[in-house]
């Protein structure tokens, strides 16, 4: 059985992100991720899902 187009797209973008993180390096990863997040926030009309994602990420990071 083949993955759905949404799963394939998610897998592809995860790969793009992982490769970019590898190129920028661990010492600049936080700056890179913050820049990407700010760009996504700016392009989103509804900021509530962004706020929820930030809260989930913070909870997961605290584990």
- Average pLDDT (3-30) is 95
Global pTM value: 0.76
Between 10 and 3, the higher pLDDT residue:
10
- Average pLDDT (12-17) is 96
- Average pLDDT (19-39) is 97
Q: What region does 3 belong to: left with phi over 0, alpha with psi -120 to 50, or beta? A: beta
Percent of the chain with pLDDT over 70: 97
Which range of residues forms the domain containing residue 35? 5-61
Q: Is the pLDDT of residue 31 over 90?
A: yes
Number of domains the chain contains? 1
For 30, 50, 52, the CA distances from 59, given in Å and listed in that order, are: 17, 14, 11
- Average pLDDT (4-25) is 95
């Amino acid at each position: 059985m083949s993955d759905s187009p949404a799963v394939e797209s998610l897998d592809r973008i995860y790969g793009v992100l992982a490769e970019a993180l590898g190129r920028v390096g661990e010492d600049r990863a936080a700056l890179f991720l913050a820049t990407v997040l700010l760009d996504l926030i700016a392009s989103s009309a509804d900021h509530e899902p962004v706020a929820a994602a930030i809260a989930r990420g913070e909870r997961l990071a605290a584990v």
